[in-house]
Amino acid sequence: MHYFSNVPLQITNISWLNATRGFYLQSFILLCWIFSSLVHSKNEIIRPNQQPLTLSSAIKRTLKDNPSLKVFKFRQNALEGQLQSQGLRPAYEVGFEMENFAGTGNIGVFDSTEFTLSLSSVLELGNKKAARADVISNRSTQVAAMRKIEALNLLSDVNRRYIDILAAQERLSLAKEAVFLAEETLTEVEKRFQAGVAPKAEIKRALAAVGNARLTMSSEQQQLDYTKAALAMMWNEMTPSFTRVEGSLYQFSTDIEFKTLLEKVKQNPEILIYATQERLTEAQLRLARTESSADIKWSVGIKQIQMVNDTALTAGFSMPLFSSKRNVGAISSAQAARDEVSVKREATMMALHNQLYRAYSNRKQAIFTANNLQDSIIPTLTEALNETQTAYQRGRYSYLDYLSARQELLFARRAMIDSAAALRYGIQIEQLIAEPLSASQSSGAQPSSFGKQRAF
């Protein structure tokens, strides 16, 4: 870089110690620049012709390959197996019985023996089979609802990580501009030093500023690599197969009234699942009530009487007594579980209301901040930096004034990137209402997934 070659290494009336320190400082800055350049080039040369990743592609990969959704298939298979088992009738039992054998006195070994071969089973009363099947069916519906919630959470996570990459790309771009501004400042300081109107200490400070800017650029590159890896992990990819993502941080959808959003929260899967859970507890209550009807155990058989060498038929039945009284506790427990669902639904609705209000307020403030920075503050600071640079070149402003103007602009631009967190709040709102904030969010310019992909 010519910025280093233009700096005089020997100046009259400066001690050997100061020259040595200057040499070490320049060497350190040069090493920092080489390191950051190597890191940057390493990340740039990988897949140079690859197309940027789109949000739609990221969502498709996640829904296809994320292990979190695959477990629900096995849960449904398990319930299907339970449904087959619970749909079976009570099993038939075959019994064999020997009486009056190997006795004493007139009873010989087999002279008075009686052999009985019987067939027995249970006659279920109270429609228990249908009640059990109803419970399994409602559990299957609940598993499907839980999959919707998990898919919705995954989509939200993909959106958040996607926005993290967009922000990291913007911060890296800003860091590169900061390096350019620092190098430009160093050039101006060198000119003033060669003209004899600036001390050498300003060159050292400018050199250090260039080194710090390059270190920041290297750090932002590493952060970008991390965010890309975090997104790729959503579809179980250990090494990202993309170099950048497509999208914009600064396109916000039109505000929707809070009352409208609150009404849509009622369609959130976390609320709708309580309807499924309520049906499940109702089915469990019906099953508990069927247990009040005692089952009848019956048996029929044939008996061989050796003493008279004749056969006879046998029949019998048995049933427990006071089944309804013994089942009161189970019914009370099932009723309590059913009543608990409505209370939990109200508590969840209150929590979602609080989350929605917080996200709604934070989003409005973030959009207001971003728009003001973009439309007013940053253009003003850009003009101020240009004027300050011109004044510094003419000797009217000090190096500190020039540096402050540059830092203020960089700070404002970074604040604008941070304020784009409004997109994250928008994702939280979309997760709560389970749909996009507006049709404009499906244009592809702004990350949004809830209206573009069928997650469940």
Contacts of 373 (CB under 8 A, 6+ apart): 412, 413, 415, 416, 419
Q: How far is CA 375 from the centre of its chain?
A: 33
Q: With CA atoms as reference, report the closest residue to 355 among 365, 363, 367.
A: 363
Q: For residue range 37-71, what is the model confidence (pLDDT) as tens digits?
A: 434 444 444 444 467 899 999 999 999 999 988 89
Q: pLDDT at position 302, please?
A: 93
292 vs 51, residue with greater confidence:
292
pLDDT interval class at 439 (50, 70, 90): very low
pLDDT band at 108 (very low <50, low <70, confident <90, very high): low
Residue pLDDT, tens place only, 352-408: 999 999 999 999 998 899 999 999 999 999 999 999 989 988 888 888 898 899 999
In a domain, residue 449? The reply is no
Instruction: Please tell me the distance from the alpha carbon of residue 237 to that of residue 244, in angstroms, as a whole number.
Output: 15
Please indicate, yes or no, if residue 169 is contained in any of the structural domains: yes
452 inside domain: no
Q: Poorest-confidence range of 28-37, 143-152, 265-274, 290-299?
A: 28-37
Q: Is residue 146 in some structural domain?
A: yes
| Total domains in the fold of the chain | 1
Phi first, then psi: what are they for 255, rounded to 5°? -65, 145
pLDDT, mean of residues 116-143: 91
Residue 17 lies in a domain: yes
Query: What was the pLDDT predicted at 345?
Result: 92
Please report whether residue 319 resides in a domain.
no
CA dist 188 and 105 (Å) reads 129
Q: What is the CATH number of the domain that holds 57?
A: 1.20.1600.10
Average pLDDT, the chain: 82
**453 occurs within a structural domain:** no
E strands in 67-212 = 93-99, 114-123
What domain range includes position 203?
A: 2-89+124-292+327-442
Within a domain: residue 187?
yes
C-alpha to C-alpha distances, 424 to 91, 161, 162, 182, 434, nearest whole angstrom: 58, 9, 10, 32, 15
Does the model's pTM come out above 0.85?
no
Average pLDDT over residues 215-241: 94
